[in-house]
Amino acid sequence: MINPQFPLFASIASGVFAPIPGSVAPVFAPVFASFVGGEIFNLIRQTGAVAQVVLIILLIFSILSWSIILTKWGAIKRARAQSGRFLRAFRKAQRLQDVAAVSEQFKPSPLVAVFDNAYDEFRRQGDGNINAVQRAAQIASSEELTRLERKLPWLATTGAVAPFIGLFGTVWGIIDAFNGLGSEGSATLRAVAPGISEALITTAAGLFAAIPAVIFYNQFTHSMREFGARMDDFTMEIMNFIERTTGVTTGVR
């Protein structure tokens, strides 16, 4: 039974887990209950109004975080694979024009943007200010790193804030449980245990939202450093390529 005194979470739970009219049995409720455990599922459905709000907030944090995680994971995987292919094509090329002709097919790689920016500047400068080519490559590298890091602060925010949001729900629930204990005049563990167990659900939900966010934030941050170093090295390779193929001294050491 859903607690009728707190309709917020009850209405959401009823809308999601209740049987569809005309169906033989609920579709989602048994699956969800088997995943989290029947008793825990019932505790979630019977939490108080404040805990319901906390759980909904944490659910939003978790959904947004997993959306960013899955999107960023795929983008980094594609960028890493295409970067390796582009580097092999670049190192086999004899002229910058040959690289420019095929660079479009490696577009998910951030190295392509670095090369395109450097190549465009090289064509504008000719045999003049070659240092401008290096600056153009560094600007593109910074822009690509900024693009790759987009939305990562949300994971850091989730990892830092979600446990405290869950803790707030727990503290509030414990206060409510002890307040009810005082009102009933019963000082037994059996009287206070249900209220405390319901309160602890929000802490568990906060950790459930925060732990994956922290793990993947650290993983993605490491990948960003890796891409940054790779783009810096690639800038040096471009300068060496220009020096080797045109005879122009770049002055890069």
Contact 90, 237 (CB under 8 A): yes
Q: Is 224 found in the same domain as 146?
A: yes
pLDDT for residue 178? 77
| pLDDT band per the 50, 70, 90 thresholds, residue 172 | confident
Whether pLDDT at 18 is above 70: no
Q: Is 36 found in the same domain as 63?
A: no
Q: Which residues lie below 8 Å from residue 48, measured CB to CB, with a gap of 6+?
A: 3, 6, 172, 173, 176, 198
Q: What is the rounded distance in angstroms from the CA atom of residue 162 to the CA atom of residue 208?
A: 9
Q: Is 102 found in the same domain as 202?
A: yes
Q: Is 39 found in the same domain as 79?
A: no
Residue 252 within a domain:
no
- Which of 11 and 239 is assigned the larger pLDDT? 239
pLDDT for residue 15? 44
Q: Is 184 found in the same domain as 133?
A: yes
Query: Taking residues 172-199, what's their average pLDDT?
Result: 70
Residue 134 burial (CB count, 10 A)? 20
Residue 197 within a domain:
yes
Q: Is 57 found in the same domain as 39?
A: no
Query: Taking residues 19-47, what's their average pLDDT?
Result: 52
Q: Is 166 found in the same domain as 78?
A: yes
Contact 118, 139 (CB under 8 A): no
Residue 132 within a domain:
yes
Burial degree of 54 (CB within 10 A; 0-12, 13-18, 19+) = buried
- Token pair, residue 167, equals 């803790």
- Token pair, residue 30, equals 């048994």
pTM comes to: 0.74
| pLDDT band per the 50, 70, 90 thresholds, residue 190 | low
CA 79 to the chain's CA centroid: 16
Whether pLDDT at 13 is above 70: no
Residue 67 per-residue DSSP state: H
Q: Is 239 found in the same domain as 226?
A: yes
Lowest mean pLDDT across 62-66, 97-101, 158-162, 183-187: 183-187
Residue 253 within a domain:
no
Among 32, 5, 1, 3, CA closest to 16: 32
Lowest mean pLDDT across 42-51, 81-90, 141-150, 189-198: 189-198
pLDDT for residue 70? 96
Average pLDDT, the chain: 80
- Which of 188 and 169 is assigned the larger pLDDT? 169
pLDDT for residue 197? 74
Q: Is 38 found in the same domain as 56?
A: no
Report helix, strand and coil shares of the chain as percent, to nearest 5: 80, 0, 20
Query: Taking residues 22-48, what's their average pLDDT?
Result: 54
Q: What is the rounded distance in angstroms from the CA atom of residue 145 to the CA atom of residue 150?
A: 9
Domain count, the chain: 2
| Vertex 7 angle, CA 3 and 12, to 5° | 100
Q: Is 83 found in the same domain as 21?
A: no
Q: Is 6 found in the same domain as 103?
A: no
Q: What is the rounded distance in angstroms from the CA atom of residue 86 to the CA atom of residue 206?
A: 42
Amino acid at 245: T
The fraction of the chain above a pLDDT of 90, given in percent, is 47
Q: Is 37 found in the same domain as 162?
A: no
Report phi then psi at 231, rounded to 5: -70, -35
Radius of gyration of the chain (CA): 28
What does the pLDDT look like over 81-134, one tens digit per residue?
999 999 999 999 888 888 998 988 998 899 999 999 999 988 887 766 788 888
Residue 139 within a domain:
yes
Residue-range definition of the domain harbouring residue 31? 1-46
Residue 17 within a domain:
yes
- Which of 215 and 181 is assigned the larger pLDDT? 215
Whether pLDDT at 231 is above 90: yes
Residue 74 within a domain:
yes
Residue 251 within a domain:
no
